[in-house]
Each structure stands twice: as C-alpha cells, then as structure tokens.
Amino acid sequence: MATGQGVTEPTTSWDPYERGCPSRDVLDRIGDKWTVLVLGELGRHGVCRYTQLRKQLSGVSEKMLTQTLRALERDGIVRRTVYPTVPARVEYALTPLGQTLREPLRALTEWSTRHIAEVLAAREEYDTNAERVS
C-alpha cells in the first residue's frame, strides 16, 4: 500500500532477525563498506562516471567497484545509464529508492566522525588490556 509521500508501506511483516528473511540481504548490502562509500559519493555528486567513482574511492579495486555497482543496480538503488558514444559513456546515479538512503547514511557518517576519538581510545584501551591478558 502506498502512502501520499512516495513511501510504500510493507504488506508483509519482515523480521531481519529471522533466518531466511530477505531484509537481511538488504542490510548486508547497505552495511557493506564499499556500498556506503559509493552511495555517499553518488549522494554528494548526483551523477558519476565509473572512473570518477574509482578515483574518489581510494583503495577500491575495479572488480569490487563493478560488483558493488551491479548489486546496487539490481536492488534498484543505483541507476546505470549508457550513452551510445565511442567509447561508450556510462554514468551512475541514485534512484528515488537510493535517495531515501541518503539521510540514514548521512546520520551514520556524522556519528562516525563525531565519535571517532572515543572509538580510537576504546580500541587502544582494549588492545592494551588484551596484551596484558595474553
């Protein structure tokens, strides 16, 4: 059932804590390191070419970037547009569904930058204590 703001209400109750729930796949996709970074770049720039994404995402291999983009396209989160030029020009952009992820990912990004000092301190404390126990 669709609501007035383009949001679809679930017709089935999905529980990601249950084995076999398809929403687990979606959570795995969205929580993937490269997915978060690809979505961030597309959210910042709107439309990106493959080479632009590869340049901006330091450390991603061509294979991983291609796999990530294909999976996001399959899930309806990213749109791939091929222009009939020589050589072919390919652009990627967020779909309307992909746009709905911008705010939650922005909140996670802000949380990570706001709390990175605390996380690093906790890691250091843990590692120090783990060395003593070993």
Note the pLDDT tens digit of each residue in 7-24.
555 556 888 888 888 888
pLDDT at position 23 is 87
Q: What type of residue sits at position 77?
A: I
Closest CA to 29 of 101, 96, 79: 101
The 10s digit of each residue's pLDDT in 99-127 is 999 999 999 999 999 999 999 999 999 99
Give the span between the Cα atoms of 77 and 101, in whole angstroms.
9
Q: pLDDT tens for residues 32-91?
A: 889 999 999 999 999 999 999 999 999 999 999 999 999 999 999 999 999 999 988 999
The pair of three-digit structure tokens given for residue 11, joined into one six-digit string: 């017709």
The domain spans of the chain are 23-100
Residue type, 81: T
Q: Is the model's pTM score more than 0.85?
A: no
Residue located via tokens 């597309």: 42
CATH class given for the domain over 23-100: mainly alpha
pLDDT of residue 68: 97
